[in-house]
Amino acid sequence: MKKIAIDARESGTTSGRYVDKLVEYLHRLNPDYKIIVLTRKKRVEFMKKNAPRFEVVETRFKEFSFGEQLGLLKQLHLIKPDLMHFAMVQQPILYRGKVITTMNDLTTTRFRNPAKNWLVFAIKQRIYKWVNVIVARKSKALITFTEYVKDDVAKFARVNSRKITVTPLAADIIKDAPEPVAELEDKDFVMYVGRPGPHKNLDRLVDAFAKLRQDNPQLRLVLAGKRDALYKRLEKRVAQKNVGNVIFTGFVSEGELRWLYEHTKAYVFPSLSEGFGLPGLEAMAHGAPVVSSGATCLPEVYGDGALYFDPLDVNDMTEKINAVINDKKLADGLVQKGKKVATRYSWQRMAEQTLAVYKEVLGE
C-alpha cells in the first residue's frame, strides 16, 4: 500500500483550518493509501481523534526555520512517503520526493508587516518570494483555493497552469450555542473578525466607520480577533483619531462569534488581498449581510452574495456599508443570496478533489 504524508504543522491555527478539514474529510473517504499526518505535539491527540485510522506522527520543526530545512528533511527521509503533501509553501527545499503543495495565496510576498523590523522582514520576504518560485516549480502538482490565485501563481512562478488544481474551501455552521457579548446586547454594530495584517485594510475600515457615525451616531464597529502587536497599533490609531464606538473584543469563543454573526447589521470585509476569504463565507452561512472589498478573488468566491466596494476608496466603502445598514430590503436580499452562496461549497468535495490529485500524481 502506498504511503502519503500530509504536513499538518499549521493545525489549530487560523490558516490551519484547511489542513484540519482536509484530514477529517479524507479520513471519511477511507482512501486506499496509508496516510501519515505530521503535526505539532499539542495537536497529536486532536489528529488521532480526528482521523483514528491514519498514522499521526509528531514533528517539532517550525516553518521558516533551519530545523524545517534540515530536521524535517531527515524525518521525511525516514518516513519515505510515496507522496508528500505540504499544506503550505514552507517546506524543506532540498526534499526531492514526489511533492504536492497547497499555495494559499501570494499576499505575504507583496505586503510588509509594520510590526516587524523592516530590514529583517525585507530579507525574509525576499527569501519567501524565492521559496514560492522554487516550490511551485519542483512540485508535481499545486493546489489553490480559487481560480484567481491559480492564475496569479502561474504568472508569478512561471509554471503551467495545468499543474494547478483549484479546491475551494467551505464554511462551517458553528454548533456552540450563541453567547451574547454583554457590551453589545441591544446595540447596532457592524463587524470584522480575523487577523489585522496590513492587507486586511482595517485602517480604511476605521476611517469609513468614522464617516458612518456622522449619520449613525449609535452604531458600533466590532473588531474581533486575538490582540497582537498589529491590533495594539490599530487601537492606538483609533485613540489618536478619536474615533468612538470601536470595540476591540480580543479573542472570542465560538458561541460569541456565532452571536456576533447572527446579530450584526453587516459583516464588512475590506481586504486588499485574499486567497479565498473564508470569514465572509462563514458570515453568510450564519445569516449576516456581507459588504466586501471587490479585490482579488473575493467576487469569485462570494458571487452575488455580497455588496462590493473599492477597498482603496473610503467614501465608496462608507456608502456601501451605509446602504446595507439602512436598507432592510437590500440587507435581507444579501442574507438570502449569501446563504445560497455558502451552500455551494463543501469540505467533502474539497477532499475528493484533493484525493483525485493524489491519484493523478501517483499515476493511478
Domain boundaries, given as residue ranges, for the chain: 3-170+346-361, 182-343
Counts for the chain of helices (H) and strands (E), in that order: 14, 13
* Per-residue pLDDT at 33: 97
Rounded Cα–Cα distance for residues 364 and 52 (Å): 25
pLDDT of residue 329: 98
Q: What is the pLDDT of residue 56?
A: 98
Q: Encode pLDDT of 241-299 as tens digits.
A: 999 999 999 999 999 999 999 999 999 999 999 999 999 999 999 999 999 999 999 99
Query: Residue 279: its pLDDT value, please?
Result: 96
Torsion over CA of 209, 212, 218 and 220, rounded to 10 degrees? Answer: -20
Which CATH architecture group holds 182-343? 3-Layer(aba) Sandwich (3.40)
Q: Which of 100, 70, 74 lies closest to 86 in space, CA to CA? A: 100
Q: What is the CA radius of gyration of the chain?
A: 21
238: exposed, middle or buried (C-beta count within 10 Å: 0-12, 13-18, 19+)? buried
**What fold is seen in the domain 3-170+346-361?**
Rossmann fold (3.40.50)
> Rounded to two decimals, what is the model's pTM?
0.94
Same fold for the pair 3-170+346-361 and 182-343: yes
Nearest alpha carbon to residue 325 among 207, 201, 191, 205:
191
Q: What is the DSSP letter of 71?
A: I
**pLDDT of 364:** 79
Beta-strand relationship, 306-309 and 246-250: unpaired
List, in sequence order, every beta strand (DSSP E) within the chain: 3-7, 34-39, 55-58, 83-86, 99-102, 141-144, 164-166, 189-193, 220-224, 246-250, 266-269, 290-293, 306-309
Sheet holding 55-58, edge to edge: 55-58, 34-39, 3-7, 83-86, 99-102, 141-144, 164-166
All 3 cell numbers of residue 182? Answer: 454583554
pLDDT < 50 regions, the chain: none
CB within 8 Å of 13: residues ≥ 6 apart: none
pLDDT at 54: 98
CA distance 335 to 343: 13
